[in-house]
Structure 1
Amino acid sequence: MGFQRSQLDIRCRIDKMLQRPRNPHIIQRMLAQEKRDPDPNYQIFLPDPSNLLEIHFSVHGPQGTLYEGGIYHGLIMLDPDHPFKPPHIQMLTPSGRFETHKNICFSFTAYHPETWSPACKLRDIIIGLSSMFDATKEVGLGFIQNPNPSDVVECREKSRTYQCTQCSANHSLLSSQ
């Protein structure tokens, strides 16, 4: 069962990689805006410049929470019809709050197209996700219910040395910035 599922996951990823955005200029403008006006709370990475649909990000844990001091790495998978359809979002590093490599359900994701606005930018999505770290009453797909504080602290400490092999994000360098 696990092997079949991983084959299906690989096939889905290949299918997604072969897709091209229908509005690449909009995504390129959004990425350029992020570069011109960076937010100190997160950083954007493009693992493959020829694939504008897959964007990595590293976000600092929210201040005043158990997550503060951690840096958490995630993935935004834009729909080929972006910005007219919402993305899927996954966390790639453990945080104690979100499951890794599973789509997360909150208002800026494909699980809620009724609340999506084409005016939403990457910044809105990442800040929206960041606000969910300490919102323990929020539950849904991809959330860990009742996060264990000792797990959160352990994940926070480990997150500072994470290096992504796909996009070259290096949290050791980010934590010193």
Structure 2
Amino acid sequence: MFESLKQLQKEKDHIQFFLVKTQPHVLHVSFKGPDFPGYKDGIYHMHLNLTGYPQSAPRIQMTHPNGGYSPNQNICLVGITNSSSSFSSGTTIEGLVVGIQTYMVPSNRINDGSAMIRSSQSVVEELAKQSLTYKCSVCGADHSKLFKKQEEKAQSEEKQQVEKKVVKKIKQTLDLSDD
């Protein structure tokens, strides 16, 4: 499983995995917020207890305030967590992350499950800003350092595109003497 997580982390620019060495059944995940106003500028961190996974649903908790879930409470999402009758053993770690990410936004929910909350836009935006400096004391994730390479790469590519379109000015001096 860990090799597939390493591969997934290389392929995706919005997710980082952190192993908890003292707890081999625990995985921490940091991910960029869903593409939705307020959330999209944040980086969010969750704790997955994978005891029994993939035969049974993992226990998932967000580790810091985010406006969509109560921190440090088990999240209940039908088909993703908590309910063994609706959980599929084919659900991947990426699928779990995408599900949690999607249902952070209250308008994406049919109803609220366990640990789900609804926060005002201003609260969500403030929590997204705060999330950028979050440091996990358990796994060492430091959100102020995450996803910087991808951002720098995107900025570099954008700069190269602009440079291709810009005509460079060259200062020339014309000699107009009659020599």
What TM-score, normalized to structure 2? 0.75
Letter matched to residue 128 of structure 1: G
Q: CA RMSD in A?
A: 1.4
Is 1:41 equivalent to 2:52 in the alignment?
A: no
Which structure 1 residue ranges, 5 or more long, are not aligned? 1-29
Distance 1:130 1:116 in 2: 17
Aligned to 2:153: none
Aligned to 2:95: 124
Is 1:85 equivalent to 2:56 in the alignment?
A: yes
1:64 Cα deviation (Å)?
3.3
Same amino acid, percent of matched pairs: 29
Aligned to 2:122: 150
SS where residue 55 of structure 1 aligns? strand
SS where residue 151 of structure 1 aligns? helix
Distance 1:37 1:90 in 2: 21
Is 1:53 equivalent to 2:50 in the alignment?
A: no
Aligned to 1:27: none
Distance 1:75 1:82 in 2: 14
* Kept after mapping to 2: 8 A contact 1:71/1:175: no
1:69 Cα deviation (Å)?
1.2
* Kept after mapping to 2: 8 A contact 1:54/1:75: yes
Distance 2:2 2:34 in 1: 23
Report how many aligned residue pairs link the two structures: 144
Distance 2:94 2:87 in 1: 14
SS where residue 37 of structure 1 aligns? helix
Distance 2:17 2:4 in 1: 11
Question: Deviation per CA, 1:25-84, whole angstroms, max 9, x where unpaired?
Answer: xxxxx2211102322221110121x522111011110113320110011100112x2211
Aligned to 2:69: 98
Range that drifts further, 50-59 or 65-74: 50-59
1:105 Cα deviation (Å)?
0.6
Pick the structure with greater CA Rg.
2
1:164 Cα deviation (Å)?
0.9
Which structure has the highest helix share of the two? 1
1:123 Cα deviation (Å)?
0.7
What TM-score, normalized to structure 1? 0.76
* Kept after mapping to 2: 8 A contact 1:102/1:142: yes
